[in-house]
């Protein structure tokens, strides 16, 4: 029997809130409330015109690849969004030693600069070995094993962590270097591109293009942009007051914000106190992204400029990537190191509070799973299932969807668009999808959009 139509409120229009709205819109009256004046949450593309060339630079999420993103890639196929593939090319600069290596080497000069340092050759070989462990570690889904303990147990060279891979990965996440060794090795390696095909997809024209296409599909949703939710209460139904003073009444509520914002919104609501305490236990770090044209944030020799450029500078590790690489122009994205003056010219800037990876997160996720739906409340977002990426955020929205609309036609479309050999991606969900949601009504084959190498 079809569940009765309900009024469902969703707070937050990042990928998890948008996905929840998309999955529920045909079965219920859905209102999506977002404090920013646009959809997409962390996704924000900044178009920069330099020397007559337009570069679509990302302030937020940018990287995704086959192994860890089967459902996000399926969504992009449904939306007919074009992708392009970039090979992973990395430079690593030790500022104090004035030494840069490039991986994989692209010229005899790069080979020579790597071979000059047996220490760096050892690190690169250790990195290769670590990448070879990726699929086994991802398959184990063991959040309790920290990166430091994994390197110790595997008898990696003692200097590999502190001198190379800790700064390398801290820079790639914009994360505090002193905390990185305690991150779960599972979260870190799942977030790395596959060793078999190193590289990643990007959305042609920028991630905001996919958000626009996704937004166009929300035809059955009452979307309120530029409206922040001020407070939530519960008297059997949810009473939501926004910052314009308007009050909304919902039968069910999905809070699709960050964990920190969810904790603030749910504070003081006695019926959901356990969920509030759980989401309040996640930790975050502050980080800032700048998009700019200052080459001093890149390797000194332009021939070393790579897609990803990591710098170890004293106690700090930071990264610049190069969105303008294809166009051959100096449009650079940097995770701004603390205390460093923002570069010029500055094209875009945004501060984030980013989820801190920790073995404790898996415990909190299990608790969230047992509390989902209590008093009619669900939380979704990249922190709620698995690791902190776009795929997790998307998958987290399947949890309320299967409870509230198990026969959702968009859920069936999404599941139908995922290649069968990738179906294991759903293992990260705390409860298996119901057979109804798995089979769905009429699942049509989806044409793939063009992929450009």
**What residues line the site for ligand FAD (CB under 6 A)?**
11-17, 33-36, 41-43, 60-64, 228-229, 256-258, 261, 265, 289, 352, 354, 381-382, 388-390, 393
Closer residue to ligand FAD (CB): 94 or 242: 242
Closer residue to ligand FAD (CB): 42 or 110: 42
| Alpha-carbon separation of residue 228 from 9, 44, 127, 174, 434 (angstroms) | 13, 18, 44, 27, 34
The b-or-e profile of 57-83 (16+ CB within 10 A means b, else e) is bbbbbbbbbbbbbbbbbbbbbbbebeb
Closer residue to ligand FAD (CB): 12 or 343: 12
What's the min distance (Å) between Cβ of 67 and ligand FAD? 12
Closer residue to ligand FAD (CB): 123 or 333: 333
Is 97 buried (19+), middle (13-18) or exposed (0-12) by CB count in 10 A? exposed
Give one word for 83, left, alpha or beta, with left for phi > 0 and alpha for psi -120 to 50: beta
What's the min distance (Å) between Cβ of 254 and ligand FAD? 11
Question: Which residue in the block uniquely carries the two structure tokens 């968009």?
Answer: 410
Cα 180 from Cα 171, distance rounded (Å): 10
* 181 C-beta neighbours (distance < 10 Å), count: 20
The b-or-e profile of 314-345 (16+ CB within 10 A means b, else e) is eebbbbbbbbbbebebbbbbbbbbeeeeebee
What's the min distance (Å) between Cβ of 307 and ligand FAD? 12
- HSE-CB at 283 with a 13 A cutoff on CA atoms is 12
Closer residue to ligand FAD (CB): 15 or 415: 15
Shortest CA distance to 179 belongs to which of 78, 314, 285, 291?
285
Closer residue to ligand FAD (CB): 29 or 288: 288
* 374 C-beta neighbours (distance < 10 Å), count: 12
What's the min distance (Å) between Cβ of 176 and ligand FAD? 14
What's the min distance (Å) between Cβ of 117 and ligand FAD? 30
What's the min distance (Å) between Cβ of 98 and ligand FAD? 29
Give one word for 276, left, alpha or beta, with left for phi > 0 and alpha for psi -120 to 50: alpha
Is 199 buried (19+), middle (13-18) or exposed (0-12) by CB count in 10 A? middle
Closer residue to ligand FAD (CB): 113 or 278: 278
What's the min distance (Å) between Cβ of 253 and ligand FAD? 12
For 202, the enclosing helix (H) or strand (E) is strand 199-203
Closer residue to ligand FAD (CB): 79 or 120: 79
| Alpha-carbon separation of residue 315 from 167, 177, 363 (angstroms) | 9, 8, 31
What's the min distance (Å) between Cβ of 97 and ligand FAD? 29
Closer residue to ligand FAD (CB): 13 or 185: 13
What's the min distance (Å) between Cβ of 187 and ligand FAD? 12
């Amino acid at each position: 029997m079809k569940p009765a139509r309900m009024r469902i409120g969703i707070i937050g229009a990042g990928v998890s809130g948008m996905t929840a709205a998309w999955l529920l819109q045909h079965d219920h009256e859905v209102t999506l409330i977002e404090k920013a004046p646009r959809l997409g949450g962390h996704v924000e593309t900044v178009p920069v015109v330099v020397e007559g060339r337009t570069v679509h630079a990302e302030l937020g999420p940018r990287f995704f690849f086959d192994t860890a993103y089967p459902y996000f890639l399926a969504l992009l196929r449904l939306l007919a969004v074009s992708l392009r593939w970039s090979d992973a090319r990395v430079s690593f600069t030790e500022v104090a030693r004035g030494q840069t290596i490039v991986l994989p080497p692209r010229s005899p000069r790069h080979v020579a600069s790597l071979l000059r340092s047996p220490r760096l050759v050892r690190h690169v070989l250790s990195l290769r070995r670590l990448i070879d462990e990726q699929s086994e570690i991802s398959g184990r889904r063991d959040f309790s094993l920290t990166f430091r303990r994994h390197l110790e147990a595997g008898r990696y060279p003692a200097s590999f962590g502190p001198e190379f891979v800790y700064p390398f990965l801290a820079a790639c996440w914009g994360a505090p270097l002193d905390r990185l060794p305690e991150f779960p090795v599972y979260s870190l390696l799942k977030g790395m591109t596959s060793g078999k095909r190193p590289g990643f997809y990007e959305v042609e024209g920028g991630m905001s293009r996919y958000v626009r296409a996704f937004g166009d599909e929300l035809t059955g949703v009452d979307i309120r942009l530029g409206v922040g939710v001020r407070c939530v209460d519960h008297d059997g139904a949810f009473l939501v007051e926004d910052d314009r003073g308007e009050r909304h009444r919902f039968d069910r509520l999905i809070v699709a914000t960050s964990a920190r914002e969810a904790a603030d919104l749910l504070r003081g609501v006695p019926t959901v106190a356990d969920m509030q305490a759980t989401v309040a236990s996640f930790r975050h770090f502050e980080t800032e992204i700048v998009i700019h044209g200052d080459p001093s944030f890149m390797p000194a020799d332009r021939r070393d400029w790579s897609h990803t450029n990591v710098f170890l500078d004293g106690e700090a590790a930071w990264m610049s990537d190069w969105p303008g690489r294809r166009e051959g122009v100096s449009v650079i994205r940097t995770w701004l190191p603390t205390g460093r003056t923002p570069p010029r010219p500055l094209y875009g800037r945004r501060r984030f509070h980013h989820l801190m990876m920790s073995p404790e997160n898996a415990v909190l996720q299990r608790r969230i799973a047992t509390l989902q739906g209590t008093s009619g409340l669900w939380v979704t977002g990249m922190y709620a299932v698995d690791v902190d990426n776009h795929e997790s955020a998307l998958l987290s929205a399947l949890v309320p969807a299967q409870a509230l609309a198990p026969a959702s036609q968009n859920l069936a479309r999404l599941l139908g668009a995922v290649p069968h050999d990738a179906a294991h991606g759903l293992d990260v969900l705390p409860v298996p999808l119901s057979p109804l949601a798995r089979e769905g009504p009429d699942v049509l084959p989806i044409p793939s959009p063009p992929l450009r190498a």
